[in-house]
Amino acid sequence: MNILVCISRVPDTTSKIDFIEDDTEFSIRDVQFVINPNDEFGLTRAIWFKEKQGAQVHVVHVGTTKSDATLRKCLAIGADKAFRIDAPALDGLAVAKELAAFVKNNSYDLIIAGRESIDYNGAMVPGMMAALLDIPFVTNCVGLEIDGTTAIAEREIDGGREKLKGTLPIIIGSQKGLVEESDLRIPNMRGIMQARQKPFEVVPAQEAPASTKDIKFERPAPKAEVKLVPADDLDQLIDLLHKEANVL
């Protein structure tokens, strides 16, 4: 089985979100970039397939040389080969077009991408790829079994789960639940050394045009002080929620 995991690189969850250039640009000062958590759950599942059922695991990323360390980390965790499509990630549709073109030129049975990236929260790349390639897609995926050419994927839905069956190739939007937090791997020394020997290819881009453009950022309005209610006067809390906040 050939598995492709699409990797996005995002600010670490604890990063301070700040903007420069008159709020037109995200400030990367002091920001640590990490593998998008939803992608990491997917990559971990891919490595599980490799170890349990036998598979080749490739990772791909659309971006500039700045992302090379992130891709090396994927190799250190256990991916076999990394590809970087050499273009700035402009918007969801452009990235999906680059990835779809890459998939067309190669042959994968299973394609995994995080259900959404935690920076722009677009949640669009995997679905767009699926439609461009006209292959099945299951997002919010919390369970995945592959048997021959059949995939059974479980999707988290509001208040429950839905089990879907499809024929490979298939695209999965991964998230926590596909593997557990405790299954995530921290690269060890051996993995890091091996990663240096693993193939890393830079692929020229299609230069798909952007369909959207971010022009300005805004910080949320500062919050009013919390209103504290004494623990022995909960009637006051109910009164505030009822009359002031109007939510009861």
Ligand X SMILES: Cc1cc2nc3c(=O)[nH]c(=O)nc-3n(C[C@H](O)[C@H](O)[C@H](O)COP(=O)(O)OP(=O)(O)OC[C@H]3O[C@@H](n4cnc5c(N)ncnc54)[C@H](O)[C@@H]3O)c2cc1C
Of 7-46, binders to ligand X (CB under 6 A) are 13, 37
Q: Are 173 and 126 in contact (CB under 8 A)?
A: yes
Run of H or E including 162:
strand 160-167
Report the residue from 51, 181, 201, 207 that binds another protein according to the rule CB under 8 A.
Answer: 181
With respect to ligand X, which residue has the nearer C-beta, 11 or 169?
A: 11
Beta bridge mates, 179: none
| Token pair 């490595």 in the structure block, residue | 47
Report the residue from 21, 189, 243, 247 that binds another protein according to the rule CB under 8 A.
Answer: 247
143 binds another protein (CB under 8 A): no
Size of the site for another protein (CB under 8 A): 83
227 binds another protein (CB under 8 A): yes
Report the residue from 37, 42, 63, 78 that binds another protein according to the rule CB under 8 A.
Answer: 37
With respect to another protein, which residue has the nearer C-beta, 78 or 169?
A: 169
With respect to another protein, which residue has the nearer C-beta, 67 or 116?
A: 116
78 binds ligand X (CB under 6 A): no
CA–CA distance, 94 with 211 (Å, rounded to integer): 7
- Ramachandran category for residue 85: left, alpha or beta (phi over 0 → left; psi -120 to 50 → alpha): beta
152 binds another protein (CB under 8 A): yes
Give me the 99-138 binding string for another protein, x by CB under 8 A, dash otherwise. -----------------x-xxxxxxxxxxxxxxx--xxxx
Q: Which does 237 bind (CB under 5 to 8 A by kind): another protein, ligand X, none?
A: another protein
Write b or e for each residue in 128-161: b if 16 or more Cβ atoms lie within 10 A of its Cβ, otherwise e. bbbebbebbbbbbbbebebeeeebebbbbeeeee
With 0-12 / 13-18 / 19 or more C-beta atoms within 10 angstroms meaning exposed / middle / buried, residue 3 is: buried
Encoded tokens for 236: 């006051």
With respect to ligand X, which residue has the nearer C-beta, 164 or 184?
A: 184
Measured CA distances, 33 to 9, 11, 71, 210 (Å): 6, 4, 12, 23
121 binds ligand X (CB under 6 A): no
38-77 binders of another protein (CB under 8 A): 38
Where along the sequence are the contacts to ligand X (CB under 6 A)?
Answer: 13, 37
